[in-house]
Amino acid sequence: MSTTPDDATQVAAPTNPSSQTWSVLRSLLPYLWEFRWRIALALALMLAAKLAGVVAPAVLKRIVDGLDVPPSLLALPVGLLLAYGAAKVGTTLFTELRQLVFARVMARVSRQITLKVFRHLHALSMRFHLARRTGGVARDVERGGTSIADLLDWSIYTILPTLVEIALVTVILALAYDWVFAAITLGTLLAYIAFTFTVTEWRTRYYRAAVEADTHANERAVDSLLNYETVKYFGNEEHEARRYDENLVRLEDTTVRSLKTLAALNTGQSLIIALGVTAMMWRAADGVVAGRMTLGDLVLVNAYLLQLAAPLNFLGMVYREVKQALTNMERLFGLLDESLDIRDRADAVPLATRNPWVRFEHVGFGYDARRQILHDVDFEIRPGHTVAVVGHSGSGKSTLSRLLFRFYDVDSGRITIDGIDVRDATQQSVRAAIGIVPQDTVLFNDTIFYNIRYGRPDATREDVIAAARAAHIHAFIESLPDGYESDVGERGLKLSGGEKQRVAIARALLKNPAILVFDEATSALDSKSEQAIQAEIDRIAQDRTALVIAHRLSTVMNADSILVLDGGRIVERGTHAQLLRANGPYAQMWRLQQQEDEERVATD
């Protein structure tokens, strides 16, 4: 069902903005506590800058009053002029020192939180990553990280200093003159704050809607560009443009609403300040005419008004930016609130194994509670042995490797390595013991050298080349103009399917794991390359515990044991010869594939 811009706005509207704001601030405080002394120093410098700022107009008043004498008595007030200059310099100096002290706080807190979110995203289970949209998550992280620095910047540099300055000026006016000046100042301030808070809270819903629309538009764009080839295959450029434009229309409408409400906010703020400034100047001018105040007093009041008017105008924009930053940070911290489906137990132990014994003990599992994938799967892989799992697509073969890696936890039964339930071991140690060559190899947008070395980041160049030779890809790499420094492109699209798979094999070999998993590892290779790679797989699997998941039966003939999976159940098991003699499902699959190979040869 399509969503209209109004619908999007309604959905984006928060149920309780105040509680969400305080929740974000509470989440931020622990990161600031580390820098409490630096923040205290920055606040002290801020106070010094504001004190210097209010002293300057007072000195200027003395200078003007000193000049308001007959020319014959006029003398240059050198001391006052130097004091005035020192106050102005002090204001700038303390402000810059405050920025220098606080810069590290903004940068470090933003970095720490963004890094924590990045790590948390990698710690989330496969369920989250299968449901997420990369473009939207990346956009939320980007905006949230920037907004942390913005929030701290606006709060410490603008909002707090402005409030301090208003308080100082109000006290000075009340003590030096009369309560009317203080009343006008406070009345203007209260009217300004009340109006700003009310209107900003009202219009925040429109900003939230614009953020939602921007995120969805970015999701659509990234998703489309990642699937560039598919778009081209089907000639659906206009279809993608229309889908993207649907999101842009929502973004346009919500942005226009946000800008209209912003215009109303700015107009009201300017009107309140203009009325306050006019009232203050009227009172000061009346005091000069009546003889209660000097020209210096008028200059003093005017100087304070000029000092307050600009920050007050700015304060409205700052409060708006702070609210927007809080909205962006809310989405960032929302990512941290995503629960970890797979967690290390408190007493989890590191798994240390060299020649492991792997057992699947009566394993039952389903990605969705309404649909069971595996039913009572029970088998073992003895140390140094190779077990192959074959079956039709959708029979649950690849699910075995995901459970072994503990991307998911089993619903029933257990998986053990050397007798240790993988749920009782740390995830990092379990995954460090396993190397995989997946069916769908996705490479990083970097060089071939980087992608192979990813299997063991501290490997030497000689180790990388040795792994490439073992995977029969070294000669191909050397034939490229840039050799190992050749870029593979987004998701490795500059390489063919077979070349990507051989890079994946080299990467797994470089990791040198105790357990090897080959998930359709030769599916993208031609017959000649398949035979070469298969021979290499057979050789390197001899000294390791290996699980081979395959569709083509010719690649598993030499396995110590072959399991036939059908509908998530093991329906046959044995060696290649035993299964052929049994004349069951395996033998039928073998005959069918032999027939297909003969027809393919005849056609060629």
Between residues 425 and 207, the one the model is more confident about: 425
Across 352-459, the runs of DSSP E, i.e. the strands, are 358-365, 374-381, 386-390, 412-417, 420-421, 434-437
Angle between helices 78-123 and 36-67 (to 10 degrees): 160
Residue 563: per-residue pLDDT: 92
| Half-sphere exposure of residue 467: CA atoms within 13 angstroms, side-chain side | 27
Residue 13 confidence class, pLDDT cut points 50, 70, 90:
very low
Q: Which residue has the tokens 């060629």?
A: 604
pTM: 0.62
Output the 3-class SS for 76-132.
CCHHHHHHHHHHHHHHHHHHHHHHHHHHHHHHHHHHHHHHHHHHHHHHCCHHHHHHC
Spatial contact of 556 and 548, defined as CB atoms under 8 Å apart? yes
Q: What's the mean pLDDT in 435-462? A: 86
Tokens for 469, please give them.
């030779």
DSSP 236: -
Average the pLDDT over each of 114-118, 468-472, 590-594 and give the range with the smallest value.
114-118
Q: How large a percentage of the chain has pLDDT more than 70?
A: 76
Residue 364 confidence class, pLDDT cut points 50, 70, 90:
very high
Which domains are assigned to the chain?
A: 15-336 (1.20.1560.10), 358-433+513-603 (3.40.50.300), 444-503 (no CATH)
What is the DSSP annotation of 433-480? TEEEE-SS----SSBHHHHHHTTSTT--HHHHHHHHHHTT-HHHHHHS
Nearest CA-CA partner of 165 in 177, 157, 176: 157
Report strand pairing: 412-417 vs 358-365. Answer: antiparallel
Nearest CA-CA partner of 514 in 427, 418, 389, 388: 418
| Half-sphere exposure of residue 423: CA atoms within 13 angstroms, side-chain side | 12
Q: Residue type at 307?
A: Q
Size of the chain, expressed as the number of residues it contains: 604
Tokens for 358, please give them.
């792997």
Q: How many CB atoms lie within 10 A of CB 464?
A: 25
Angle between helices 295-336 and 17-33 (to 10 degrees): 90
Nearest CA-CA partner of 549 in 527, 522, 576, 518: 518
Q: What separation in angstroms does the CA of 409 have from each of 338, 344, 367, 464, 568?
A: 18, 11, 10, 34, 16
Nearest CA-CA partner of 188 in 265, 275, 266: 275
Q: Is the pLDDT of residue 104 over 70?
A: yes
Spatial contact of 410 and 403, defined as CB atoms under 8 Å apart? yes
How far apart, in whole angstroms, are the C-alpha atoms of residue 250 and residue 410? 42
Residue 323 confidence class, pLDDT cut points 50, 70, 90:
confident
Q: How large a percentage of the chain has pLDDT more than 90?
A: 10
Average pLDDT along the chain: 77
Write out pLDDT tens, residues 381-424: 998 888 999 988 778 888 898 899 888 889 999 999 998 999 99
Residue 520: per-residue pLDDT: 78
Residue 12 confidence class, pLDDT cut points 50, 70, 90:
very low
Question: Could you tell me the sign of the dihedral formed by the alpha carbons of 373, 378, 383, 388, in that order?
Answer: negative
Q: Give the SS3 label for residue 253.
A: helix
Residue 529: per-residue pLDDT: 66
Each as own residue / partner, the long-range contacts of residues 9-14 (CB below 8 Å, 24 or more positions apart, any chain) are 9/205, 9/206, 9/209, 9/254, 9/257, 11/209, 11/212, 12/205, 12/208, 12/209, 12/211, 12/212, 13/205, 13/208, 13/209, 14/204, 14/205, 14/208
Average the pLDDT over each of 8-17, 499-508, 541-550, 589-598 and give the range with the smallest value.
8-17
Between residues 333 and 433, the one the model is more confident about: 433
Residue 86: per-residue pLDDT: 67
What is the DSSP annotation of 4-54? -HHHHHHHHS-S-HHHHHHHHHHHHHHHHHTTHHHHHHHHHHHHHHHHHHH
User: Between the ranges 204-213, 340-349, 411-420, 485-494, where is the mean pLDDT highest?
Assistant: 411-420
Report strand pairing: 386-390 vs 545-550. Answer: parallel
Residue 345: per-residue pLDDT: 84
Q: Which residues of 202-218 are buried (b: 16+ CB within 10 A; e: fewer)?
A: ebbbbbbbbbbbbbbbb
Write out pLDDT tens, residues 236-249: 778 888 888 888 88
Q: Residue type at 34?
A: E
Residue 360: per-residue pLDDT: 94
Q: Is the pLDDT of residue 473 over 50?
A: yes
Residue 415: per-residue pLDDT: 93
Tokens for 12, please give them.
């984006």
- Give me Rg for the CA atoms of the chain: 35
Nearest CA-CA partner of 196 in 311, 365, 348: 311
Spatial contact of 481 and 417, defined as CB atoms under 8 Å apart? no
Between residues 3 and 60, the one the model is more confident about: 60
